[in-house]
Chain A
Amino acid sequence: MAISTATTQPKTATSPKPGQGHPYKEMYFRSRRTALPPGADAPDFTLRSTPDQWLTLSEFRGQPVVLAFYPADWSPVCGDQVALYNEMLKEFHELGAELIGISVDGAWCHAAFARDRKLHFPLLADFEPKGDVARRYGVYRDKDGVSERALFVIDADGKVHWSYVSPIGVNPGADGILSALEDLQNKQAMPEAAEK
């Protein structure tokens, strides 16, 4: 595929020019993969969850948390992704986990988006300083001013258990999250095996 496009593209085309055809490739630059890896301490943060409420990550200590960073409210893939996770809340809760969405959108935008999509989980506004939390998790896209589409499963002790960065136009689904949460549950059930 790379060969065929090379022959048809004008010689003046220089990288890193956004790709063609796919809207997300037009909109966003290629990213570097710098997400916090498993075993890292999950940086604590306090962000607005609504225009007059705040949420702090460490309040969830003692249970797993799924942090879903996404580029923007209203964009089509995010819509599918949050709609899917919204339907999955029961499964996440059965595995003892809370789900939190995060983007750089402001709290009022989140409120409208959550109402429109009937979301039953919090959306946090990584709005001021813009993208600060995404940066600390290694998933901020400087050139685009939004976060990656990145997933983190944080364990009960506040450490990253699993992380995944999806191509920005691809809905990562929920299978990876479920596997990570089940893995945590198994470790909790058999702590000696987890210690190795």
Chain B
Amino acid sequence: MINRAQLKLPDAERDHIQGVIDAPIALLEYGDYECAFCGEVQPIVREIQRRLGDDLCFAFRHFPLTNVHPHAEHAAEAAEAAGEQGSFWPMHETLFANQNALDDESLAEYAAALGLDETRLIQEVISGAYAGRIREDFKSGVRAGVNGTPCFFINGKRYDGSRALESLLAAVSQPATII
């Protein structure tokens, strides 16, 4: 289980991170691949990463709302399964770019397109091989005060402002000003 101190911060030991863990700015997203708002914010996250470069460490944790998003759990498992084959982030991008097609058949296609072992991936998805880890992400999010998706934590503080690029960029660039 993620310890309390790490609920709102990237954890290099277990999280999928982009950038170095001791970067001055830590941006942690709790998200759901079938959530339209999460999909909309992805290009903004990418742009923030581009602008801040090495100053930013970005991490993603799963927060699937499975009753309203029937494909969210398997999509998250597909990302984890791809991660086991060294391709978490390419699958992460692919899933957000294809939010309307997240059925198992499509997940297998994406795995194949990324050059992964699709049979292994889909077997792991169907057997729920990473369900425990995803639930751990979810529970840590609830503990951290996540109340919907996407939910961002900037240097350990929940960001409740607008998800427009200017707002998020301003908050990330000046983490001390987050209230």
- By beta carbon, the residue of chain A nearest B68 is A83
* Chain A residues positioned under 8 Å from B146 (CB to CB): 173
- A117 touching B142 by the CB < 8 A rule? no
Q: Shortest beta-carbon distance, B139 to chain A, in Å?
A: 7
Q: Is B143 an interface residue (CB 8 A)?
A: yes
A83–B65 Cα distance when bound, in Å, is 7
Given known contacts A118-B67, A175-B143, A178-B143, A87 and B138 CB-to-CB distance under 8 angstroms: yes
Q: Are A80 and B148 in contact (CB under 8 A)?
A: yes
- How near does chain B come to A101, taking the closest CB pair, in angstroms? 14
Task: Provide the residues of chain B in CB contact with A175, threshold 8 Å.
Answer: 142-145
The reply to whether the CB of A84 lies closer than 8 angstroms to some CB of chain B is yes
Decide yes or no whether A55 CB sits under 8 A from chain B. no
- Do A174 and B142 contact each other (CB < 8 Å), given the known contacts A80-B147, A80-B148? yes
Chain A residues, Cβ within 8 Å of B148: 80, 83-84, 171
**Nearest CB in chain A to that of B65: its residue:** A83
Which chain B residues (57-73) contact chain A, with CB distance < 8 Å?
64-68
A173 to B139, CA, bound (A): 12
The answer to whether A87 touches B66, judged by C-beta atoms less than 8 angstroms apart, is yes
Report which residue of B64, B144, B146 has the largest number of chain A beta carbons within 10 angstroms of its beta carbon: B146
Shortest CB-to-CB span from B154 to chain A, Å, is 17
Which of B65, B67, B144 neighbours the largest number of chain A CB atoms within 10 Å of its CB?
B67
Chain B residues with CB below 8 A from A87, complex form: 64-67, 138
Instruction: List B contacts of A172 (CB < 8 A).
Output: 147
Q: Determine how close the nearest CB of chain B comes to the CB of A118; give it in whole angstroms.
A: 4
| Interface size counted on chain B using CB atoms at 8 A | 15
Q: A172 to B147, alpha carbons, bound, how many Å?
A: 7
Shortest beta-carbon distance, B76 to chain A, in Å? 13
CB neighbours (8 Å) of B147 from chain A are 80-81, 84, 170-174
Q: Using a Cβ–Cβ cut-off of 8 Å, how many residues does chain A contribute to the interface with B? A: 19
Answer yes or no: A88 CB below 8 A from chain B CBs: yes
Contacts of A119 in B (CB 8 A): 67
Q: Is the CB of B142 within 8 A of A173?
A: yes
- Name the residue on B nearest A173 (C-beta): B147
Residues of chain A within 8 A (CB-CB) of B143 are: 175, 178
Q: Mark A81-117, 1 if CB is under 8 A from B, else 0.
A: 1011011100100000000000000000000000001
The residue in chain A whose Cβ has the minimal distance to the Cβ of B67 is: A118
Pair A86/B67 contact, Cβ less than 8 Å = yes
- Per-residue CB contact flags for chain B residues 118-159 toward chain A (1 = under 8 Å, else 0) read 000000000000000000001100111111100000000000
Residues of B within 8 A of A174 (CB): 142, 147
**Do B142 and A88 touch across chains, with their CB atoms under 8 A apart?**
yes
* Smallest beta-carbon distance B135→chain A, Å: 9
Residues of B within 8 Å of A80, CB to CB, are 147-148
Q: Which chain A residue lies CB-closest to B143? A: A175
What separation, in Å, do the CA atoms of A120 and B65 have in the docked complex? 13
Nearest neighbor of A177 in chain B, beta-carbon distance: B142
Q: Is the CB of B145 within 8 A of A83?
A: no
Q: Are A91 and B139 in contact (CB under 8 A)?
A: yes
Complex CA distance for A88 and B147, rounded to whole angstroms = 11
The proximity string for B residues 31-60 relative to A, scoring 1 for CB distances below 8 Å and 0 otherwise, is: 000000000000000000000000000000
Q: Spell out B's residues near A (CB within 8 Å).
A: 64-68, 138-139, 142-148, 160
A-B contact pairs, 14 of them (CB 8 A): A83-B67, A84-B65, A84-B147, A84-B148, A86-B65, A87-B66, A117-B67, A118-B67, A119-B67, A170-B147, A171-B148, A173-B145, A173-B146, A174-B142
